[in-house]
């Protein structure tokens, strides 16, 4: 008996159908994969976009907080308490939109999709601190955010509690405003991203006692040939180290040192922290101009600036020193003969100081090196104490400055779950 075999054409037809089906399945899977990749890319792009927006909003809050600190009439600021008062049209106070929280502002970012921004620079006792807030639907109740005086942490007990250093935090929100009659966090309004940024603002102190020049007890000052060191009603030279100590002073050929008394001792050490309330590195970071070579200085120095020169500095008539504020020379400072140099304010030299004629330093000078020479020739070389100039320096330059670049503390976004409603 013969058995019929299935034809080869039938087998080929079945294989072709299986291949077509497999190709179809693979095509669908590839399409789904590309769709997932494309969706993930859009989600990531949206997250980064809104996160960057929220970060910029938070930075704006830090900028306004800085401005608030600097414009307060009582310095240093010991209480962060922004106000809002429109009762007197001649004296409107508009520090914030909500004084119960701190510094608060809301503003529209763009007309498309009704995007708005809001920053909050919060008081320590804000109306709804994050540790207990519920109405904001905060995603992490354990992330506090507020401003505080950290003078004791940064400067030690000597300057503790005086408001010299403030740590400021700013929360930046990006949200979609659908119903302006409801708070920004209540539906149908929706927060899509939020970032907490922080930085530190430090007030530059000036705690030197009165005196034309300050030096350590084991140093030497030579004043000769129309060189002058003088102070009216204040000490000419202040020697630092121990009670009753005195350094080595020599005068010759018409050099003079005047003051009341001419020389005085102090037990306060000559350190940057003691003089300015900040370390040398902090002062370097706060400087308006920082150079490692005199040739890199601008042709005209700004008025009342902090100028920091790291290394030896020499000024002559062709590149004279002329300006005011705080000059720091981390090395030796030389003002050559006939340099026509003039500086009003504070001069701090970590090395030696050599001043030739036609040079005039008014305010106060600090020399931490071993030797100071003040010597004129045909003209006068002079260091003169001026308390009024130092007061101006303290008021103008001593205002709060940012000592740490803004950094991100916390980030959150809900854009991956958010789809914009259609615009009406």
Are residue 57 and residue 104 in the same domain, yes or no?
Answer: yes
Are residue 270 and residue 390 in the same domain, yes or no?
Answer: yes
Helix (H) or strand (E) holding 411: strand 401-413
Give residues with Cβ within 8 angstroms of 291, minimum separation 6.
Answer: 297, 308, 309, 310
pLDDT at residue 141 tops 50: no
Could you report the per-residue pLDDT of 266-324, keeping only the tens digit for each? 999 999 988 988 888 888 888 999 999 999 999 888 888 999 999 999 999 999 999 99
Coil, helix or strand at residue 423: coil
Could you report the per-residue pLDDT of 89-125, keeping only the tens digit for each? 888 999 999 998 899 999 999 766 789 999 999 988 7
pLDDT of residue 10: 63
pLDDT of residue 15: 74
pLDDT of residue 190: 87
Backbone angles phi, psi at 409, to 5 degrees: -95, -40
pLDDT at residue 33 tops 60: yes
pLDDT of residue 345: 95
Tokens standing for residue 371: 């030797």
Compute the C-alpha angle 361/400/164, nearest 5°. 100
Average pLDDT over residues 45-63: 84
Could you give the CA distance from residue 270 to residue 293 in angstroms, rounded to a whole number? 25
Are residue 166 and residue 310 in the same domain, yes or no?
Answer: no
Beta bridge mates, 209: none
Are residue 410 and residue 338 in the same domain, yes or no?
Answer: no
Can you give the pTM of this predicted structure?
Answer: 0.69
Q: Is the peptide bond before 261 cis (omega within 30 degrees of 0)?
A: yes
Average pLDDT over residues 131-156: 62
pLDDT of residue 42: 52
Are residue 57 and residue 149 in the same domain, yes or no?
Answer: yes
141 vs 78, residue with greater confidence: 78
Query: How does DSSP assign 33-95, residue by residue?
Result: HHHHHHHHHHHHHHHHHHHHHHHHHHHHHHHHHHHHHHH-SSSS-------EE-S-TTS-EES
Are residue 66 and residue 165 in the same domain, yes or no?
Answer: yes
Beta bridge mates, 117: 107, 174
Average pLDDT over residues 372-398: 90
Closest CA to 194 of 116, 254, 265, 263: 116
Could you give the CA distance from residue 264 to residue 245 in angstroms, rounded to a whole number? 8
Query: How does DSSP assign 109-153, residue by residue?
Result: EETGGGEEEEEEEE-TT-SS-TTT--TT--S-TT-----EE-HHH
Are residue 288 and residue 189 in the same domain, yes or no?
Answer: no
Could you give the CA distance from residue 380 to residue 383 in angstroms, rounded to a whole number? 10
pLDDT at residue 48 tops 70: no
Average pLDDT over residues 360-377: 94
37 vs 24, residue with greater confidence: 24
Domain that holds residue 308: 213-398
- CA-based end-to-end distance of the chain: 82
Q: How confident is the model at residue 128 (pLDDT cuts 50, 70, 90)?
A: low
If one counts every other C-beta atom within 10 angstroms of the C-beta of residue 318, the result is 7
Does residue 422 belong to any structural domain of this protein?
no
Could you report the per-residue pLDDT of 241-255, keeping only the tens digit for each? 988 888 899 999 889
pLDDT of residue 231: 95
Are residue 67 and residue 126 in the same domain, yes or no?
Answer: yes
Return the beta strands (E) in 220-330 as ranges: 220-224, 227-230, 237-240, 248-252, 256-257, 263-266, 289-291, 305-310, 313-315, 322-330
| Cα dist from 412 to 281, 295, 390, 393, whole Å | 34, 47, 47, 43
- Domain tally for the chain? 2
pLDDT at residue 136 tops 50: no
Does residue 18 belong to any structural domain of this protein?
no
pLDDT of residue 126: 72
The least confident of 41-45, 59-63, 241-245, 298-302 is 41-45
Are residue 120 and residue 172 in the same domain, yes or no?
Answer: yes
Does residue 4 belong to any structural domain of this protein?
no
Are residue 231 and residue 92 in the same domain, yes or no?
Answer: no
pLDDT of residue 214: 96
Average pLDDT across the chain, whole number: 84
pLDDT at residue 158 tops 80: no
155 vs 179, residue with greater confidence: 179
The least confident of 137-141, 151-155, 224-228, 402-406 is 137-141
């Amino acid at each position: 008996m013969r058995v019929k075999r299935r034809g080869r054409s039938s087998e080929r037809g079945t294989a072709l159908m299986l291949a077509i089906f497999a190709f179809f399945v693979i095509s669908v899977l590839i399409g789904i994969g590309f769709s997932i990749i494309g969706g993930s890319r859009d989600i990531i792009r949206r997250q980064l976009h809104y996160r960057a927006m929220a970060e910029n909003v938070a930075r704006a809050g830090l900028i306004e907080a800085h401005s608030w600190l600097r414009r307060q009439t009582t310095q240093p600021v010991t209480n962060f308490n922004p106000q809002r008062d429109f009762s007197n049209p001649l004296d409107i106070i508009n520090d914030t939109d909500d004084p119960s929280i701190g510094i608060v502002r809301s503003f529209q970012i763009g007309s498309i999709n009704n995007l708005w921004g809001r920053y909050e620079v919060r008081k320590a006792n804000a109306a709804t601190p994050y540790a207990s807030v519920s109405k904001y639907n905060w995603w992490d109740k354990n992330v506090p955010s507020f401003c505080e005086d950290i003078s004791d942490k940064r400067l030690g007990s000597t300057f503790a509690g005086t408001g010299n250093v403030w740590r400021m935090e700013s929360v930046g929100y990006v949200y979609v405003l659908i119903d302006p009659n409801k708070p920004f966090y209540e539906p149908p309004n929706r927060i899509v991203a939020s970032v907490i940024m922080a930085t530190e603002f430090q007030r530059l102190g000036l705690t030197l006692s009165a005196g034309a020049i300050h030096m350590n007890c084991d140093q030497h000052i030579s004043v000769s040939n129309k060189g002058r060191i003088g102070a009216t009603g204040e000490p000419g030279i202040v020697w630092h180290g121990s009670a009753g100590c005195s350094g080595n002073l020599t005068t010759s050929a018409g050099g003079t040192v005047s003051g009341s008394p001419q020389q005085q001792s102090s037990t306060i050490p000559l350190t940057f922290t003691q003089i300015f309330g900040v370390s040398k590195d902090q002062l370097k970071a706060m400087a308006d101009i920082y150079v490692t070579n005199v040739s890199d200085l601008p042709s005209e120095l700004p008025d009342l600036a902090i100028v920091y020169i790291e290394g030896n500095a020499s000024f002559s008539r062709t590149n004279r020193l002329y300006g005011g504020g705080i000059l720091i020379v981390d090395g030796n400072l030389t003002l050559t003969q006939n340099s026509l140099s003039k500086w009003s304010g504070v001069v701090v030299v970590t090395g030696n100081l050599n001043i030739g004629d036609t040079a005039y330093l008014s305010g106060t000078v600090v020399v931490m090196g071993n030797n100071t020479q003040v010597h004129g020739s045909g003209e006068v070389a002079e260091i003169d104490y001026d308390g009024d100039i130092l007061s101006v320096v303290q008021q103008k330059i001593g205002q709060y400055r940012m000592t740490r670049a803004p950094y991100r503390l916390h980030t959150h976004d809900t854009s991956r779950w958010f789809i914009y409603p259609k615009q009406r």
